[in-house]
Structure 1
C-alpha cells in the first residue's frame, strides 16, 4: 500500500508501540500518584505524602526509564539496545539501593506508604505499558 502510492502510513513507525507504552505508563503513574497522595495523605498526613512521592518516583521511574532507553536506541542494533537496557537496569538498581540506604533511618516519610506506592506503581505502570504495546497497530509487511 505505502510502496505503490508513495504514502507513508502512521502505522509504519515501528516505535509506535513504545511511544504508546510511554504515554499509557506516564498517565497511569500520574493517576496512581494522585490516588495514593489522597489516601496516604488522609491516613498518615505529611509522612504519608512523602512516602507516596518517594515511592512513585522510584516505582514509576524504574519502569518508565526502561521504555525510554529502548525508545532512544530503537534505531540502533539489537546488541546496542540490549547493552543500554542492561546498563540502565544496573544504574537504576544501584540508585535505588543508594536512596534506600540514605533514607533508612529517616522519619519524615511513612515506610508503608512508600512500599505500597512502589508496588502499585510498578504493577500498574507495567500493565499499562504492556496494554499500550499489545494494542498498538503497526505495519508488519509492506
Structure 2
C-alpha cells in the first residue's frame, strides 16, 4: 500500500470489549434473576408439593409468576429501552409498573374465591421470589465490570 492509499482508507474503529457495553449490568441482572427464579420455583414446588399436594403446586406456580415476573419485567423493560433517551425509558418503566399493578390486582381479584391453590404457598412463594430475584439482580448489577469513561 502506498502512503496515499492509507490516508484515503476509512479509519479503523477499535474493537469494543465486553466492558464497554453499558447494557451489560442489565443483562447480568436479567440472567441472575431468571436463574434465581427457576431455583426458587423448583425448591418451592418440592416443598409445597410435599406439604400441600396439588394445591401447593398451583400456589407456587401462581406465586412464582407474580413475584418473579413482576421484578424481571422491570429489568426487561429497562433493557429494551436502553438505547433510547431517559424520558422514554422512564415512561416505559412507569407505564409497565402501572400495568403490572393492575394485572396483579386483577389476578388476585379473579382467584380470591377459588380453592384450587394453597394461599400460604402462594404468599410464601411471592415473597421469596420478590426478595431473592431482586437480590440476585442487584448482585448482578453491582458486580458487573463496565468502563465509566470511554
Where on the TM-score scale, by shorter chain, does this alignment land: which range? over 0.9
Runs (5+) with no aligned partner, structure 2: 1-11
Q: Which residue of 2 aligns with 1:32?
A: 40
Aligned length: 139
Displacement of 1:141 in angstroms is 1.1
In the TM superposition, what is the alpha-carbon distance from 1:106 to its structure 2 partner? 0.3
2:132 corresponds, among 124, 127, 130, to 124
The 4+ residue runs of structure 1 with deviation greater than 3 A are none
Among 16, 23, 27, which residue is 2:24 paired with? 16
Give the counterpart of 1:88 among 91, 96, 117. Answer: 96
| RMSD of equivalent CA atoms | 1.1
Calculate the TM-score normalised by the size of structure 1: 0.96
TM-superposition CA deviations, 1:22-74 (whole Å, max 9, x none): 00000000000000000000000000000000000000000000000000000
- Structure of higher CA gyration radius: 2
CA apart distance, 1:5: 7.4
Give me the whole-angstrom Cα distance separating, in 1, the residues matched to 2:131 and 2:94. Answer: 20
